[in-house]
Structure 1
Amino acid sequence: MKNKLPFIISGVAILIAVGVFFVSRSGRASDLISESMKSASPVRIYAQKAKETYLADKSKRHFEHYDLDHDQKVSQDEYLAGRRRSFKRLDKNQDGVLNFDEYAASAMNRFDQADHNHDGFLNMEDFAVIDNHKGQDEKGVEP
């Protein structure tokens, strides 16, 4: 019996894991785990704070790009000036009109910069580079 005990314990652990998996897939996991436990998860808290920090930083860079006189306010003139700068940056042939190729070139350039091994695909690390380059190359401005 002593020799079978590890197999029995392993079998029970597998059954429990399979049961938890199927319960969570069926949508009844919320019945088993209280809402307070879900919202207090350290991973969930960390992810939420990281998201909030990223969005705040991105918003700050975006705002600073438009706030030309650094008075912590963006006037209509400042806003339009920022949009004009973005338009001019995208209008490669300076004809006053954006065609699709000019508009898409910015996104393709970021993709190419992020695709380190040039295989035409982005892995998780490559994908993170897109946001970094976007903030540096465009100074936080989105078309």
Structure 2
Amino acid sequence: MQRFILGGVTAFVMLSIGLFWWQGRAEVERAAPPPQVAIEAPSPQEVPSADLSDIAGPDLPEATEQTREQRRFGRYDRDRDGRITRNEMLSTRVDGFRKLDRDGNNLLTFEEWAVATATKFDGADANQDQWLSAAEFRKTAPPPVKAKPRPKCVCKS
């Protein structure tokens, strides 16, 4: 007896779902956009023309000579308001932080820091004796910033 009741309830639910789906589909079709009407392209005679000989734009900006400190300040001052906020100051550290934050939760745990430090130590310890000599320790230094090579002088004698 329970099977018949359960079967009847299931059939009623399926019919209700089908009815709502059918009504929803009819509503979408009723509100469909009108068919596209072909728009005629303008003829070449209707296209406006302009005389460009007397047009003058703004002058080019002049480059100013900045000191090294002014350029450094400009790199940090993202919104160019003449002030550096805490977020602007920390923005340069984001890439380094993301490398250490392995699980991506924006929290750097001691374990995440320790793994990065231990990996760096293991990479520098070439002979695996669990201590770094002066030569091995030199491998842990950040790479030096390479200066751009100066072009060779082409002198005419």
TM range (shorter): 0.3 to 0.5
Select the structure that is richer in helix: 1
Q: Give the TM-score of the pair, scaled to structure 1.
A: 0.39
Which gives a bigger RCO, structure 1 or 2 (Cα 8 Å, sep 6+)?
Answer: 1
Q: Give the TM-score of the pair, scaled to structure 2.
A: 0.36
